[in-house]
Chain A
Amino acid sequence: MSRATVGPSSSSHQPTTTLATAPSSYPLNLNRLYSSQKIPTPIQETALVQTQEPETGLQSKVHFADAIEGGSDWAEERVSQGPYTAPPPRIEAARVEEVADPSYAPASFSTGLKTVGGLAGWWSRPDNWAAGGDFVGFKPREKVVESSLIEAAVRRAIIEAFALRETGREDDLVGVWPTAASNVDLQGLLAWDLKRAEDGAVILGGDAAVVAEGLRWKDDEEGARDHPALSETLTADEAAALSQTWNPSWKTISLADSRIRFAVTKRVFQLTGQLVPDHQLASITTVQTLLHVLKKPPKPATLTQELQKRHPDLLDLPNVTVTPKRVTRGDKEIALGRFKLMQEEFKKRDIPAYGHGYARKGKEISRLRGGT
């Protein structure tokens, strides 16, 4: 037994391949995942896991690859696609007929063979995937709460929706619009003299065709996938300064048309993350009512926060104490001054001052998640 066959598939002899083949529709680096023939059985996999640590497994795999392929480094072949790194493609040892050395005999049992590792725990390793993932949602990651920025987003949405209508592209009102815009473009757009005429018509005060052209969604556009947040493009102060110059009649623009209303609320949601609740949609008839719904300050998360913000008189009373967190037994001991004495006694008896020392907290939870 001068050379041994390698890895989990040593027992099942397949036709000689240096690379596992898989359906061609999958990317090359995902071959290993989708191959139905080459996946080791669970028993073999667990046997591999028992004999090695993840890192050492990778190292020994590299060594074997050197031996077989003559110096090719597997680690370099790992291809990253976005936040995911697929495992390297699988390499199989040469068949008996292919080996030039006449003294070569394949191993008939696995004792003494080097194991090169499996892929168990591949996706548990944090460097193989990013927690954030590559999901790009319609809603921005950060919700915009500044009222001036919300107002700017509403104005932008109004201009864009009416520009599409003016150019006759009604169907695009319900489509996805790209969000990328430079600061200069955005400021120029927001500075348009948008107003409502006497007869209710909307006067955009700019070239609608240019804006409508910019609203065509292109799938191959890289910028559209990773668009900057609205607050990065425009600061709240700039938006507030701009809003001083706007004609007040723009707030009376009618949103009674449901297509326009949908286009505007959808666009505002895309730009700011502020979603108008369904039950309030019917009551939105003008820009003013929309702004009233959107610019509501967020609810305080806890009662203590609300007291600090809205009822400071209660906190000023000398006979009232408000605690933001639960008052525990330990807090009561500390307030009495007994905790120090207890700690001294604990120290004398070699007992931990906090917690139970040897016993972990939440052991069952870690077990449920697959830990020990």
Chain B
Amino acid sequence: MTIRALEKISVGQNGVGAFILQCRKMDIHYCDQSGSSRGMNAFIKSQLSRFASLNPQIEFAVSPRPRKSPVLIGHYINGKQKSICVKNMDSLQILKKAELLRDASGEKTKRVNKPITSINESVRGVWSPYHGNGMPV
């Protein structure tokens, strides 16, 4: 009897059964002096504590980066990271960007030009030239 692999009966999908947030860490960099960081400093003071308590799965690391633009860097469990420069933004705009990073999957952004995407195999199968009646030329 030949050895047969276990047949795949389902594909894992995040959110079916359990949902694991893909963003695991967020670096928050600011500058004490520069004006481009004013919104970021306000975000840290006014918005961050609420945002962090609503997202306890994410580790937030706040650290200064003197003489540099303020930056949000999201780290994802697939090993990738995504960074957004938030210079001259106000605190609510920065909150939007933080939500964007939180909700991102960490995958590279891909162009989607098909109306439907599915993880299920096609019921018609893949067309083969060696099967069926053939095509007289």
Contact = CB atoms under 8 A, between A and B. Distances in A.
A316 to B, nearest CB: 9
Interface residues of A, number: 21
Interface string B45-83: 100110011011111111111100000000000000000
A168 B123 CA distance: 107
Interface hub of A310, A313, A319, A323 (most chain B Cβ within 10 A): A319
A310 to B, nearest CB: 8
Interface stretch (A115-123, A189-197, A255-263, A301-309): A301-309
Contact of A303 (B59, B61, B64): B64
Interface in A306-339: 306-307, 310-311, 313-314, 317-327
A324 B60 CA distance: 14
Contacts of B64: 302-304, 323-326
B32 interface: yes
Contacts of B57: 319
Interface of B: 30, 32, 41, 44-45, 48-49, 52-53, 55-66
Contacts of B52: 314, 317, 319-320
A319 B49 contact: no
B62 A319 contact: no
Contacts of A306: 45
Contacts of A313: 49
A320 B48 CA distance: 9
Contacts of B61: 321, 323, 327
Interface of B is mostly: mixed
B63 A303 contact: no
6 contacts: A302-B32, A303-B32, A319-B58, A320-B62, A323-B64, A326-B64
A308 to B, nearest CB: 12
Given A319-B58, A322-B62, A307 B32 contact: no
B66 A326 contact: yes
A310 B30 CA distance: 18
Nearest to A314: B49
The 5 tightest CB contacts between A and B, nearest first, are A323-B63, A314-B49, A320-B60, A327-B63, A322-B62
A308 B61 CA distance: 16
Interface hub of B45, B59, B60, B63 (most chain A Cβ within 10 A): B63
Nearest to B53: A317
B86 to A, nearest CB: 15
A310 B42 CA distance: 13
B43 to A, nearest CB: 11
Contact of A321 (B32, B55, B60): B60
B106 to A, nearest CB: 18
Nearest to A323: B63
A257 to B, nearest CB: 39
Given A302-B64, A314-B49, A326-B66, A319 B59 contact: yes
A277 B61 CA distance: 38
Contacts of B48: 314, 320
A301 B32 CA distance: 8
A306 B57 CA distance: 26
A314 B30 CA distance: 16
A289 to B, nearest CB: 28
Contacts of B44: 303, 307, 314
Given A319-B56, A320-B48, 20 more contacts: A302-B64, A303-B30, A310-B45, A311-B49, A313-B49, A314-B44, A314-B52, A317-B49, A317-B53, A318-B56, A319-B55, A320-B60, A322-B62, A323-B62, A324-B64, A325-B64, A326-B64, A326-B66, A327-B61, A327-B63
A307 B56 contact: no
A318 B60 CA distance: 9
A314 B47 CA distance: 10
A321 B45 contact: no
B69 to A, nearest CB: 14
Contacts of B45: 303, 306-307, 310-311
